[in-house]
Chains A and B, each alone.
Chain A
Amino acid sequence: MSAWRGLSLFVGDARLVAAKDLRIEWRARTTLGQVLPFALLVLVLFGFALDANRPTLRLATPGLLWMTVLFATVVAVQRSAAVESADGARRVLLLSGMAPAAAFAGKAAAVAMQLLVVEVLLVPGVVLLYDAEVESVPLVAATCIAATVGLAAAGSLLGAVVAGVRAHQTVLPILLLPVSAPVLIAATRAFADGFGTVAVEGWSWVGLLAGFAAANAVVGAVVYGPLLEEA
């Protein structure tokens, strides 16, 4: 098989898995149904709580935003793993003969798409409600993409790790929170620069996010197959 043919099959399988997961999420609206009310609540609640101190609210904006994204990650990853464990559905991935790395890429891509939807709603939300100003759109956009890929890859990997654990819904957040801490810190710092609230070198934090995303994507692609079999 030529490299081009192999790549084409890989991309086709990943798209199939991602489209399948997104269609399931669209039907069930499990993730967005839980995350969007929470996100709205965070925006409104902190808007009221710190309304008298707008500078503090603007300083806290990146942290609040990425904490909300972390919550969305936990919900989306749990849902993504549950889809494959219900009624033996992971046999589709196993018996089809598709490359496990392609299945992993598809699962992570579907989670990433959901997180991006949340971020696309959150960023205008903080601009409107917190009077935040985006000083560097490219920096904010690059931060969103790199952090989202990192969270989705790490989350999908850990979702597969805990799939066979009886208390997986409890174990997943316990594992995901420390693993995602570097992403949250880097994304918060980069956003602080992007919003012009703190004088830091935002692009260097984006580089860290990209490295984290690449590392988790590679590890996930390598180990997803064995994890899927053991689940």
Chain B
Amino acid sequence: MERRPNARSGAVASAVSLRGAVVLLGGFPALAGADLEVVPGEVVLVRGPNGAGKSTLLHLCAGLLRLSGGHGDVLGCDLHADRAAVRRRVGLLGHDTALYGELSAAENLEVWARASRVAEADVPGALDRLGLPPRLRDVPTARLSAGQRRRVALAAIVVRRPELWLLDEPHAGLDSDGREIVDGLVAAAAAAGAAVVLASHETGPAGGLATGTVTMAGGTLSEGAQA
């Protein structure tokens, strides 16, 4: 698909630029020549059925998977040459939460903040933004509900202030209040100049956020209707 200009600034420096990207997982081409352009300030929805390769795409953009073929450039870093350099600058919400179950929400976020070298002072504010009640912040996250853990995982991304948000089914497991909070976070991140890639097999919840939509099937992307 063609690079989309940044609607607010007109800038064209890509946050994500994939050309014929191929990712092999155990010899199977989970991405089979994917093309994608995302510019800062843009929110791109990647739609597709289960197994289409959406999660693989997000993990590739996060620098967590090796690019087996094609060209990939994320936040100015060549995925062939230095994908590790991308990682500190992205926030990835996967199907799992990347939280330590024995640690509380606040402790998990402090670990994320210190490991990522960002301000620990932002932790309470991030939990406030995600609407996690103070009485739950010192409870081990293993004892929280799935939706509450999802909120903590999103708060970890908020603390890190990434330049690229990669959200895999961000509304999954959240109540209506939580979904509204996610929508607000995504809109605020894009308004602040971050690029956002949302993956969802549903059109409904995420569709209203997107400034662009692509459809994924069989490891390849095709351009969808602009939102």
Q: Are A and B genuine complex partners?
A: yes
Q: Tell me whether B90 and A95 are in contact (CB under 8 A).
A: yes
A163 CB to closest chain B CB (Å) equals 15
B104 nearest CB neighbor, chain A only:
A27
A115 CB to closest chain B CB (Å) equals 20
Residue in A16, A27, A90, A91 whose beta carbon sits within 8 Å of that of B92 in the complex: A91
Q: Tell me whether A88 and B87 are in contact (CB under 8 A).
A: no
Q: Tell me whether B87 and A229 are in contact (CB under 8 A).
A: no
Q: Tell me whether A16 and B114 are in contact (CB under 8 A).
A: yes
> Is A97 located at the chain interface by the 8 A CB criterion?
yes
Residues of A within 8 A of B115 (CB): 13, 16, 92-93, 96-98
Residues of B within 8 A of A95 (CB): 62, 64, 87-88, 90-92, 98, 116
A102 nearest CB neighbor, chain B only:
B115
Q: Tell me whether B98 and A89 are in contact (CB under 8 A).
A: yes
* Interface Cβ pair total, 8 Å cutoff: 69
Question: Once the chains are docked, how many angstroms separate the CA of A95 from the CA of B156?
Answer: 12
**Residues 35-82 of B at the A interface (beta carbon under 8 Å):** 62, 64
Most buried by A among B92, B99, B111, B112: B111
> Is B183 located at the chain interface by the 8 A CB criterion?
no
A90 CB to closest chain B CB (Å) equals 8
Known interface pairs A16-B111, A20-B111, A27-B140. Does A94 touch B87 (Cβ–Cβ under 8 Å)? yes
> Is B97 located at the chain interface by the 8 A CB criterion?
yes
> Is A52 located at the chain interface by the 8 A CB criterion?
no
Interface size on B, residues (CB 8 A): 26
Residues of B within 8 A of A92 (CB): 98, 100, 111-112, 115
Question: Once the chains are docked, how many angstroms separate the CA of A24 from the CA of B101?
Answer: 9
B96 nearest CB neighbor, chain A only:
A88
> Is B102 located at the chain interface by the 8 A CB criterion?
yes
Residues of B within 8 A of A24 (CB): 100, 102-103
A30 CB to closest chain B CB (Å) equals 9
**Residues 99-152 of B at the A interface (beta carbon under 8 Å):** 99-103, 107, 111-112, 114-117, 140
**Residues 19-37 of B at the A interface (beta carbon under 8 Å):** none
B130 CB to closest chain A CB (Å) equals 18
Residues of B within 8 A of A3 (CB): none
29 A-B interface contacts by CB (under 8 A):
A12-B114, A16-B114, A16-B115, A20-B103, A23-B103, A24-B100, A24-B103, A27-B102, A86-B100, A87-B97, A87-B98, A87-B101, A88-B94, A88-B98, A89-B98, A89-B99, A91-B64, A91-B92, A91-B98, A92-B111, A92-B115, A93-B115, A94-B64, A95-B87, A96-B88, A96-B112, A96-B115, A97-B84, A97-B117
Given contacts A88-B98, A97-B116, 13 further A-B contacts (CB under 8 A): A13-B115, A20-B111, A23-B102, A87-B101, A88-B95, A88-B96, A92-B111, A92-B115, A95-B91, A95-B116, A96-B87, A96-B112, A96-B115
A binding-site residues for B, Cβ under 8 Å:
12-13, 16, 20, 23-24, 27-28, 83, 86-98, 229
